[in-house]
Amino acid sequence: MKDPYAVLGVPRDASDAQIRYAYRQAMREQTSGESPVEVKERQDEVEEAYQALTDPRRRRGDGATAAVQTPEREPAPTLPVLEEAEEKRPRNPFTRMTHKLPRPWRIALDWVLTIAGAVLIVLAIKAWVVNPYRIPSSSMEPTLHCARSDNVASGCEARFSDRVLANRFIYHLRDPNRNEIVVFNTPPKAELECGAGGTFVKRLIGLPGERVREKAGWFYINGKRLNDSSYIKPGRRDDRSGFWIVPKDSYFFVGDNRTQSCDSRRWGSVPRGNLIGPVFAIYWPPNRIHVDTPGPIGATILAVIGGVIVVLVVLGIRKRRRPA
């Protein structure tokens, strides 16, 4: 007879699964122009080759050809069975643990884990990467808007409050810079002086160890006048005077709307440990959308994080489309 490996089209080191699969494929083949007799002869040849290669003593001596003469034969499979169901095991750990459960249960568990994973990712991003904040008062007008109210004296210029994003990780990589707008937790004295505490957004003007002086509404840092004309409107500059020395590892903050800002002039400098991060974007309302340049380090980290999120979303979509 012909070489059984050639008849089934498998290599000599083929596994049992490959031989069974090749046998089923060969039995299913339909060749146009063959007569019923030729079809029967070809199927007999395929059957004989399969019986030869499934003999326990195959590939010994002269190979499978010699084993054809032995009386012991393994019966051929009578029904086609999907190869994946017989030989392949799920590669995904979750699928391996749940593949025996009913399909509705698998789908439900899959959704639960997907949603839980998404929530954990969001919480991790908020804790270590970026966090959104709303501007509640007019202390940073007109740089950051708050929403107008019936109270004309509120000083707000917009219909909606700005929503901003603060970069929570960048101060782990570098020191704060002058003129950055920073989100921070206020010291305890702020609540006593301002009637409110918690999280504030102000502009950083004084660095550790510097001498800060305000004279008739103008600030001087170590004797040099601070150039703040680009973001302070004349009507929002006050006429106060004062002198402060910024302690080590602390920072001095004031609002851009000096006339309505309760800031470091009243409750002192802010320790570095209270700083959350600089504002780098306005994401609401739509007409106010703005993103500052995050610098090479920040841009690289944000790009990596964004890429990870995109990959997770794509994998989730592909998984949803894949049949269970």
- Residue 304 lies inside a defined structural domain of this protein: no
- Residue 163 lies inside a defined structural domain of this protein: yes
**279 shares a domain with 185:** yes
**268 shares a domain with 154:** yes
**211 shares a domain with 268:** yes
- Residue 310 lies inside a defined structural domain of this protein: no
**271 shares a domain with 216:** yes
**286 shares a domain with 148:** yes
Q: Which of 5, 6, 37, 10 is nearest to 21 (CA)?
A: 10
Give the chain's residues under pLDDT 70: 1, 30-33, 56-96, 98-99, 122-128, 150-154, 293-306, 312, 315-324
Q: Which domain holds residue 76?
A: 4-87
C-beta separation of 254 from 212 below 8 A = no
What CATH number corresponds to the domain at position 49? 1.10.287
Query: What is the pLDDT, as a whole number, of residue 52?
Result: 83
* DSSP assignment of 235-261: GG-----EEEEPPTTEEEEE-SSGGG-
**232 shares a domain with 151:** yes
**162 shares a domain with 64:** no
Query: What is the pLDDT, as a whole number, of residue 78?
Result: 52
What CATH number corresponds to the domain at position 191? 2.10.109.10
**218 shares a domain with 151:** yes
Query: What is the pLDDT, as a whole number, of residue 215?
Result: 94
Angle at the Cα of 167 (from 166 to 172), degrees rounded to 5?
A: 140
- Residue 59 lies inside a defined structural domain of this protein: yes
**250 shares a domain with 277:** yes
- Residue 209 lies inside a defined structural domain of this protein: yes
**40 shares a domain with 71:** yes
- Residue 219 lies inside a defined structural domain of this protein: yes
Residue 172 CA neighbour count, 13 Å, CB half: 8
Report the chain's mean pLDDT, rounded to a whole number. 80
**206 shares a domain with 219:** yes
List phi, psi (to 5°) of 101. -75, 160
Per-residue pLDDT tens over the stretch 97-155: 766 778 787 778 777 777 877 777 766 666 667 888 999 899 999 999 999 876 556 68
- Residue 269 lies inside a defined structural domain of this protein: yes
**Pairing between β-strand 275-284 and β-strand 290-291 as defined by DSSP bridges:** antiparallel
- Residue 298 lies inside a defined structural domain of this protein: no
Q: Just list the catalytic residues.
A: 139, 202
C-beta separation of 229 from 279 below 8 A = no
Query: What is the pLDDT, as a whole number, of residue 67?
Result: 41
Report the number of distinct structural domains present in the chain: 3
**187 shares a domain with 101:** no
